[in-house]
Amino acid sequence: MILELDCGNSFIKWRVIHAADAAITAGGIVDSDQALVAAIGALPALHLVGGRMVSVRSEEETTALCALLQQAFAIDVKVAQPVQEMAGVRNGYDDFQRLGMDRWLGALGAFHLAKAACLVIDFGTAAKADFVAADGEHLGGYICPGMPLMRSQLRTHTRRIRYDDASAERALSSLAPGRSTVEAVERGCVLMLQGFARTQIEQAKALWGDDFTIFLTGGDAPLVHEAVPQARIVPDLVFVGLAMACPLS
């Protein structure tokens, strides 16, 4: 069994796969290193032989997590590293090392699945879009605040925007103009995300006509899907790229 980890800015997504056929045997989302060790440690019949990780956290945090996993489960965890080119995709940043590894692996995974021009839109803590042309050239992309950051900025910098998580969830049963603060904020932020997605698709159309595949990923992708029904939701797109960047055998 192999442990796979996607360490985002707010959450760690993890899963355990079989080495032989990549079948997923367990997985989850946690918000701390300790919760990760506890969740994995609680699995019955665990036989980890290795691990691979993508991290957008600092070098120190990433190294500390690898050490913790070595200590807890006696495994070496490979960390995906930036490269100029892989699997037919060429990194489009002026300095390839600066491109977020989650974005790079998402682009690799998408190009592998589409084998054609693709637009990857990832709605996590940050919202990001990346463009890969049909010849594998990564053209670059965009980064904006995602849903959690937009929400918390509004809460932090206004005095009268306050509401709890349960009412936030209820507010998203519709996107009609809000008749309460929670509805106005939650729906407004979702419309921002949808507008972001639509604008990226317009750009892709200008570049490639109708000849491209749209991938949606990240925890908040479902909030946007109704606005772009032609997109494929691939929640594990970063893991597809991770397997390509860190083959274990």
Ligand X SMILES: Nc1ncnc2c1ncn2[C@@H]1O[C@H](COP(=O)(O)OP(=O)(O)OP(=O)(O)O)[C@@H](O)[C@H]1O
Ligand Y SMILES: CC(C)(CO)[C@@H](O)C(=O)NCCC(=O)O
Question: Per DSSP, what are the bridge partners of residue 214?
Answer: 119
Instruction: Give the Cα separation of 179 and 231 in Å (integer).
Output: 30
Instruction: Give the Cα separation of 166 and 243 in Å (integer).
Output: 36
Q: Which listed residue (31, 102, 130, 165) is catalytic?
A: 102
**Residue (109 or 124) nearer to K ion, CB:** 124
Instruction: Give the Cα separation of 35 and 51 in Å (integer).
Output: 17
Does the footprint of ligand Y cover residue 143 (CB under 6 A)? yes
Q: Is there a catalytic annotation at residue 130?
A: no
Residue of the chain from 124, 141, 146, 241 that contacts K ion (CB under 5 A): 124
Asked if 58 and 12 count as a contact pair (C-beta separation under 8 A), the reply is no
Does the footprint of ligand Y cover residue 109 (CB under 6 A)? no
Q: Closest Cα partner for 145 from 129, 168, 125?
A: 125
What is the contact mask toward ligand X in residues 156 to 195, using x (rule: CB under 6 A)? ----------------------------------------
Q: What angle do CA 37, 41, 46 make, to 5 degrees?
A: 130
- Which residues carry a binding-site annotation? 6-13, 93, 100-103, 122, 125, 181
What is the contact mask toward ligand Y in residues 79 to 108, using x (rule: CB under 6 A)? -------------------xxx-xx-----
Applying CB under 6 A, what is the total number of residues that bind ligand Y? 12
Q: Report in angstroms the alpha-carbon separations of 177 from 13, 16, 144, 168.
A: 34, 43, 23, 15
Q: Which residues make Cβ contacts (< 8 Å) with residue 150, sequence separation at least 6?
A: 189, 192
Does the footprint of ligand Y cover residue 10 (CB under 6 A)? no
Query: Interface residues for ligand X in 138-157 (CB under 6 A)?
Result: 146-148
Query: Interface residues for ligand X in 83-142 (CB under 6 A)?
Result: 102, 124-126
Residues that bind ligand X (CB under 6 A): 8-11, 29, 56, 102, 124-126, 146-148, 218-220
Residues that bind K ion (CB under 5 A): 8, 102, 124
